[in-house]
Amino acid sequence: MALLSAIIGAAYTVAVCVALGALLVRRLGLEFCRLEATLFEFVSGSACLSLAVFALCVVHQARLPVFLAIGTAAIGWALWGARGAPQRKSLPAVSRGWLVLFAVVYAAFFTCYLVNAMAPEISPDGSGYHLGNVARDWRTGGFDWRYHSIYSSLGQGIEMLFLVAYLIGRNPAAAMVHMTFQAVLPLLMLCYGRRFGFPGVGAFAGLLVYACPVAGIAGASAYNDLAVATLVFAGFYLIQVNHHNLSFNSMFLCGLFSGFSYAVKYTAGLALPFAAAMTRGRRWLALSLGAMAMAGPWMVRNWIWLKNPVAPFLNSWFPNPYWSASAEHEYLAGLRQYPTFKSYWDFWSQLTVLGGLVPGMIGPAFLLLPLAVLALRNAHGRRLLAAGAVYSIPAFLNIEVRFLIPALPFFALALGLAMQNSRGMLPAVALFQALACWPQVMTTYSDPNAWRIRGIPLRAALRLEPESQFIASHVGDYALKDAIALAVPPGERIFSFAGRAQAYIERDIVVGYESSQGWRIQEAMERAAAAKSGRRSAALLAKSEGCGFLLVNDADAVANDIKQGMKDWGVNKVAEANGTTLYAIN
């Protein structure tokens, strides 16, 4: 039943996206070819649905009956409008060899990703704040204005789509919605190649990105990176299609994609200036209108709610009581902390093959990336390389390899263009990437700690293995779920020094580094533990901030002090599991 509802939840959300997109594309009068049209309808519809859910969250009407009513109406309207529509043209054909290779590899990886997405969510950020935010929105019927965390103040463009799926099929449904973006991206790349006369290159690049290990795991989890990659690529595609004759409507849609990219992940805000640069400022009004339609609501929300339109960043420009500039500085410095590499080769091998020091890897075929500069001889290649360079910028600000994902489609296409005249090389390299990136094959050579798909958990996906057993074996915090539900009254908050799997804990958690309130509690407790005095006052401070419970990992700085001096702190141990202890403050 859980599996069926997850599939229905994801399918329904995707269907509503396509329906809304079909209505929008028809309204804008944009011409697309057959497969291309469906893909663009999904992408543009996802922006519309996200915006609609945002509005419902603001007025606290994000409830299943409302979603069902709006979605069903949209689907009906789209079907009604599609009656008698002329048949669309088809894009230039792909050769049979490429078609077979693409279909086989795509089908194999699609199955692998689908099974992983269908299994209960166990990814760190997915079960942490992405679905944590969704679960909170579900509990309150919209945005919870009382809860402050850097992760709840980020744009939640994709979480708005997750919410629709979540209400029907819970966590796996949300992951499957993200997986749909992942499945759309290589098809869009294939269409791009077909439209511009290099179908083999499109298929090659699509396979390279689809098989990419970090894109695989991120796409099959409730993250947002593949949605960002698909959106920025769709925006780029749209500009290329209309390069010589930029219409107001096409630029409005491009703006919509740019704005939605920002709403999904701030780093993708680069899409707007890049689109403006690509079009040399033509139709800037349409572009800006589209972008503001999607990004504007999130900025206004944050401005009114947190006094900072770009919260949780630029706090020195927009001082607010919820997060300080110094905390922001410390947090960002931590994200930029690259490990020490012995050599350039060490860095490249970690990035492409091993994936231990930089979490995740992009696949060994990307070692050929330097060859992509040869695409500079081609006008398309120059634009693709420029886009790849621009969308790589966020990777310099965060060590996680997934921040490179939005740049990969551009680099893969540029690499394909550079190698397209070398007969037999594109299929050979694509096949190599596919074989080398198959989960079982990766086990033989990648770092044991690399963030990647580790298998095909069919039993967990089909719920033959109990959901709770599967989650508990991967998510440490899950063991405390029942204890928290029993001991912590609804509405009560818990303080934690580290981030938690909030998707599975039905109480709000105030994390130390995620808000000014958290910082206050954390600093007071750490100071008390170091000075060995004022422990009770620190515990009472947490209680006065609304946190009557503490979740402490054995590795936390204060863990031993609390364990040995529960009386001094005035706390009681409630439960303990997997190196984490739940305390109640008396």
Binding site residues, another protein, CB under 8 A: 345, 349, 352-354, 364-365, 367-368, 371, 374, 377, 418-419, 421-425, 428-429, 432, 436, 443-445
Strands of the sheet containing 509-511, edge to edge, are: 509-511, 493-496, 547-553, 580-585, 571-577
Tell me if the bond preceding 312 is cis, omega within 30° of 0: yes
3-state secondary structure of 543: helix
Distance CA 307, CA 301 (A): 9
Stretch (H or E) spanning 331: helix 325-335
Name the minimum Å distance from CB 429 to another protein. Answer: 6
Nearer to another protein, 150 or 418 (CB): 418
CB-nearer residue toward another protein: 422 or 473 = 422
* Residues paired with 242 in a beta bridge: none
Specify the residue, 346 or 568, whose C-beta has the smaller distance to another protein.
346
Q: Which is nearer to another protein, 317 or 445 (CB)?
A: 445
Nearest residue (CB) to another protein, 424 versus 490: 424
Closest approach of another protein to the CB of residue 420, in Å: 8
- For another protein, which is the closer residue by CB, 211 or 436? 436
Residue 145 CB, nearest approach to another protein (Å): 49
What b/e readout covers 436-474, taking b as 16+ CB neighbours within 10 angstroms? bbbbeebeeebbeebbbbeebbeebbebebebeebbbeb
Asked whether the beta carbons of 442 and 436 are under 8 A apart, the reply is yes
Give bridge partners of residue 547 from the DSSP assignment: 493
Whether residue 50 contacts residue 263, with contact meaning beta carbons closer than 8 Å, is answered with yes
Residue 375 CB, shortest distance to another protein, in Å, is 12
CA distance 540 to 520: 12
In the block, which residue shows the tokens 């995707």? 14
In the complex, minimum distance from the CB of residue 451 to another protein, in angstroms, rounded to a whole number = 17
- Closest separation in Å from C-beta 406 to another protein: 24
Q: How far is the CB of 113 from another protein (least distance, A)?
A: 23
Q: Which residues contact residue 158 at a Cβ distance below 8 angstroms, ignoring those fewer than 6 apart?
A: 50, 130, 178, 224, 227, 264
Relative orientation angle of helices 535-544 and 516-531, to the nearest 10 degrees? 170
CB of 421 to another protein, least distance (A): 4
Residue among 350 and 581 whose Cβ is closer to another protein: 350
Asked if 118 and 221 touch (Cβ cutoff 8 Å), the reply is no
Q: Minimum distance from CB of 433 to another protein (Å)?
A: 9
**Which residue number, 347 or 519, has a Cβ lying nearer to another protein?**
347
Nearer to another protein, 412 or 558 (CB): 412
Handedness of CA 28, 273, 360, 206 (dihedral sign): positive
What's the closest the beta carbon of residue 445 comes to another protein, in angstroms? 5
The smaller minimum CB distance to another protein, of residues 87 and 444, is found at: 444
Q: Cβ(56)–Cβ(156) under 8 Å?
A: no
Q: How far is the CB of 351 from another protein (least distance, A)?
A: 10
> Which residues have C-beta within 8 Å of that of residue 324, sequence separation ≥ 6?
315, 516, 519
Nearer to another protein by Cβ, of 139 and 377: the residue is 377
Give the contacts of 389 (CB within 8 A, at least 6 positions apart).
Answer: 407
Q: Which two tokens stand for residue 428?
A: 């050979």
Residue 513: count other Cβ atoms within 10 Å of its Cβ.
17
Nearest CB to another protein, comparing residues 364 and 518: 364
| Token digits of residue 394 | 């966020």
> Are the beta carbons of 96 and 40 closer than 8 angstroms?
no
CB of 374 to another protein, least distance (A): 7
Beta-ladder partners of 572:
584
